[in-house]
Amino acid sequence: MQQAIAYIKESLRDYYSGSEISGLCRILIEYIVDESYFNALVKDIIFSEDQRAILVSLIERLKAYEPIQYIMEEAEFFGLPFFVNCNVLIPRPETEELVELILNENPQPNLQVLDIGTGSGAIAIALAKYMKEAGIAAWDFSYKALDIAVLNSKKNNTDISFRLVDVVKDYPTDRKYDIIVSNPPYVMESEKVAIERNVLDYEPHSALFVPDDKALLFYDKIADIALELLHPSGKLYFEINQVKGQDTVRLLQDKGFKDVTLFQDLNMNDRMVQAVLA
């Protein structure tokens, strides 16, 4: 076992920080031996030829900065397990804060909720799991993402109505909602230079990027949908680009939303907006 650990540390030294390597080491070993890290150490498991080959190939992928969540095909969101691959964004901690905000602000049962651009299904599934008797719907324009969201809904035993919808084109108007939530693409093309390779080379660009001159394109569209599909006094929640806080607030106020409130994430960046349909 010590040999395998030394090999992992040595191979990744020039690519990741010490604490990242410790985390990766644990994940790799647990994945390969299918036992806890602790057991692997105590039993001093010696890798078979096959296991060694698997380790080498995983290390190569990590050296190319492929996110560990895609390699393992699993990510955790709000304490729940999600299958992920390159067709969906890896759920982010900021988005957990958005879910937490919605749960705190909406404790009443039987709410109808719509998640637009659900991706892996993270927001919709966490809400389905933790809101009392809510009716949850979720849309995405990518059928590859929707397949994954459906799989994740099953994995987490939630009942969600998924639909293939491209909001820029057309959308169903047969249902009204108490809450509409979205974490749409919001990273501007000009911000690409600051994006890490693990994100840029692997995560779906259609879920991340918007043109600089139309940075709020999805917010504009989704706000209009909310005007049409929210019940009176329904609420709209967005995750936002931290540099677009005030612009998003103004956009929503101009459309007639009330109590438009900006919230910061744990890093104190403007990250969420809540608005009420008067």
**Can you give the binding site for ligand GLN, defined by CB under 6 A?**
92, 94, 183-187, 199, 208
129 neighbors 160 (Cβ within 8 angstroms): no
The distance of closest approach from Cβ of residue 120 to ligand GLN in the complex, given in angstroms and rounded to an integer, is 12
CA–CA dist 16, 140 (Å, integer):
34
What residues does 180 pair with on adjacent strands? 114, 236
Between strands 270-276 and 258-264, the pairing is: antiparallel
Q: How far is the CB of 223 from ligand GLN (least distance, A)?
A: 16
In our burial notation (b when 16+ CB lie closer than 10 A, e otherwise), range 158-185 reads bebebeebebeeebeeeeebbbbbbbbb
CA distances, 240 to each of 243, 247, 269 (Å): 8, 10, 10
Q: State how far the Cα of 192 lies from the Cα of 209, in Å rounded to an integer.
A: 8
In contact, 236 and 277? CB cutoff 8 Å = yes
Nearest approach, Cβ of 270 to ligand GLN (angstroms)? 13
Whichever of 8 and 272 has its CB closer to ligand GLN, that residue is: 272
Rounded to a whole number of angstroms, the minimum distance from the CB of residue 208 to ligand GLN is: 5
Comparing CB distances to ligand GLN, the nearer of 5 and 146 is 146
Least separation in angstroms between CB 240 and ligand GLN? 9
Among residues 21 and 90, whose Cβ is nearest to ligand GLN? Answer: 90
Q: Which is nearer to ligand GLN, 55 or 239 (CB)?
A: 239
For residue 18, the number of C-alpha atoms closer than 13 Å in the C-beta half-sphere is 0
CB of 187 to ligand GLN, least distance (A): 5
How far apart (Å, rounded) are the C-alpha atoms in residues 113 and 124?
Answer: 8
Nearer to ligand GLN, 45 or 195 (CB): 195
DSSP state of 29: H
Q: Which is nearer to ligand GLN, 8 or 225 (CB)?
A: 225
